[in-house]
């Protein structure tokens, strides 16, 4: 793959770190949105993850003229009808992981059916076209928070592929190997090949 530049259409430092880590050996330079301080936060008003990712990537591509990559992700809890879903970040007025995880513990208190998944939609938009796709990781909602790694709902999520551990108890490399973002990023080289 030839060296390329991509703007990440997000101000989320955790996403930048995880995607940057997974692109480290690809020859692709990932520029943070903060490199364009005049740009406002991209909108995300679509009803689904792919729609939001495309909306954010288009917004940045149209304003920078550079190929843009966006991540829209969240947690779907089956017993809560798929909530918090696309509202994962802003599920509580505090817009904080602490408040969101406290709400998740409350809503899931006494609930037997605890299946859930993390979803990550990625969208790549360039002058050659656009593409959106998703990765998922299946698991269960924990009874209590555990672990200090990762971010967001990680301390409350028990991935099927890491028995007995929450996502926040995995090392960065262990999380990358199974996470929704890691799964979605496996398709990125093909999208880069087609669109950059």
Q: What residues are labeled active site? A: 72
User: Which 116-135 positions form the footprint of ligand IMP (CB under 6 A)?
Assistant: 118
Segment interacting with ligand IMP (CB under 6 A) among 101-109, 123-131, 150-158, 187-195? 150-158
Between CA 15 and CA 25 the distance in angstroms is 17
Q: Please give the C-alpha separations between residue 46 and each of 20, 51, 63, 95, 181, in angstroms, as whole numbers.
A: 26, 5, 20, 19, 20
Contact between 147 and ligand IMP per CB under 6 A: no
Secondary structure (3-state) at 134: strand
Residue 75 bridge partners (DSSP)? 118
| Residue whose C-beta lies closest to ligand IMP | 152
Does 169 help bind ligand IMP (rule: CB under 6 A)?
A: no
| Span near ligand IMP by CB under 6 A; candidates 27-35, 60-68, 139-147, 151-159 | 151-159
Selected range binding ligand IMP among 20-28, 35-43, 68-76, 158-166, rule: CB under 6 A: 68-76
What CA–CA distance (Å, rounded) separates 37 from 100?
Answer: 28
> Which two tokens mark 125?
């938009």
3-class DSSP assignment, residue 196: coil
Q: Are 186 and 177 within 8 A, CB to CB?
A: no
From candidates 9, 23, 55, 73, binder to ligand IMP by CB under 6 A: 73
Closest distance between ligand IMP and the C-beta of residue 2, in Å? Answer: 29
Measured from the CB atom, is 4 or 51 closer to ligand IMP?
51
Q: Is 187 in the site for ligand IMP (CB under 6 A)?
A: no
Could you tell me the smallest distance in angstroms from the CB atom of residue 84 to ligand IMP?
A: 8
Buried b (16+ CB within 10 A) or exposed e, 127-138: eeebbbbbbbbe
Give residues in contact with ligand IMP (CB under 6 A): 12, 44, 72-75, 88-89, 100, 118, 150-154, 179, 181
């Amino acid at each position: 793959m030839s060296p390329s530049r991509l703007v990440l259409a997000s101000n989320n430092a955790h996403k930048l770190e995880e995607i940057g880590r997974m692109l480290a050996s690809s020859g692709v330079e990932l520029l943070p949105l903060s490199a364009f301080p005049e740009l406002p936060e991209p909108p995300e008003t679509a009803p689904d993850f792919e729609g939001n990712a495309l909306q954010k990537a288009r917004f940045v591509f149209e304003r920078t003229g550079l190929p843009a990559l966006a991540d829209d992700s969240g947690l779907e809890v089956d017993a809560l009808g798929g909530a918090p879903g696309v509202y994962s970040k802003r599920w509580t007025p505090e817009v904080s992981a602490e408040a969101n995880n406290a709400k998740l513990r409350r809503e899931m208190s006494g609930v037997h059916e605890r299946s859930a998944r993390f979803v990550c939609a990625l969208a790549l938009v360039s002058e050659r076209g656009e593409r959106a796709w998703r990765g998922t990781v299946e698991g269960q909602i924990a009874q209590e928070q555990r672990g200090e790694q990762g971010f967001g709902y990680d301390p409350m999520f028990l991935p099927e592929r890491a028995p007995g551990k929450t996502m926040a108890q995995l090392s960065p490399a262990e999380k990358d190997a199974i996470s929704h973002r890691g799964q979605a990023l496996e398709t990125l080289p093909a999208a880069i090949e087609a669109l950059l």
